[in-house]
Chains A and B, each alone.
Chain A
Amino acid sequence: AQRVTQPEKLLSVFKGAPVELKCNYSYSGSPELFWYVQYSRQRLQLLLRHISRESIKGFTADLNKGETSFHLKKPFAQEEDSAMYYCALNNAGNMLTFGGGTRLMVKP
């Protein structure tokens, strides 16, 4: 069975500090991983996916198959980054399994 774990429910940092939101997964096949973000009172939206290897809003995430991790990183957090972040795994049936989510709070 597939599983996505986000060990931190809340992560609080100061503006300008580095941020790392942790995500670990378990999946027997070849994983396709995503990070979704939900800003206050807005819908869930895709932030980035591992296959595109792109940087969105300064965030990057690298898939580490050895550690079965897909941590989200940003070198300098901004206040507007405050949101709920969900790591998700796409299985062969194109269904998403979500982690529990991490609330990021960036303090001024």
Chain B
Amino acid sequence: GAVVSQHPSWVICKSGTSVKIECRSLDFQATTMFWYRQFPKQSLMLMATSNEGSKATYEQGVEKDKFLINHASLTLSTLTVTSAHPEDSSFYICSARDTSGNYEQYFGPGTRLTVT
């Protein structure tokens, strides 16, 4: 089946620094990827839709200048958390939509970000 990877799986950074999270579709192409945020014991909240070759679409309340998304190829999207603060600590999950098949979304394993 289709596999989506995320790197790193866990990162700790200091306040004020920036962190980049990668999301890759390993055996299929994805013109669209999605970034979610999940707080402990809560559901997934869609942050933004990443479109290959164009600007990302952000959900209401998500700061696009803080959460930079780049979808430079059909298999890679990156989320950069800029000037991180402790309140940005969360579990970030990406998904990729297989546009050549049944448009199913496949989820990555998630990245746990801790900002100290």
Interchain CA distance A95-B58 in the complex, whole Å: 12
Overall SS of chain A's interface: loop
CB distance from A101 to the nearest CB of B (A): 5
* Chain A residues positioned under 8 Å from B45 (CB to CB): 98
A46 interfacial contact with B, CB 8 Å: yes
Asked if A95 contacts B104 (CB within 8 A), the reply is: no
* Chain A residues positioned under 8 Å from B109 (CB to CB): 42-43
CB contacts under 8 Å to A, within B98-116, are 103-105, 107-110
Task: Please tell me the number of chain B residues within 8 Å of chain A, measured between CB atoms.
Answer: 19
Asked if A86 contacts B103 (CB within 8 A), the reply is: no
One of B32, B46, B93, B104 near A44 (C-beta < 8 A): B93
Interchain CA distance A46-B107 in the complex, whole Å: 9
Chain B residue nearest to A87 (CB atoms) is: B43
Asked if B49 contacts A100 (CB within 8 A), the reply is: no
* Chain A residues positioned under 8 Å from B34 (CB to CB): 95-96
CB distance from B102 to the nearest CB of A (A): 9
Interchain CA distance A95-B43 in the complex, whole Å: 15
CB distance from B52 to the nearest CB of A (A): 14
A interface, CB within 8 angstroms of B: 36, 42-46, 86, 93-101
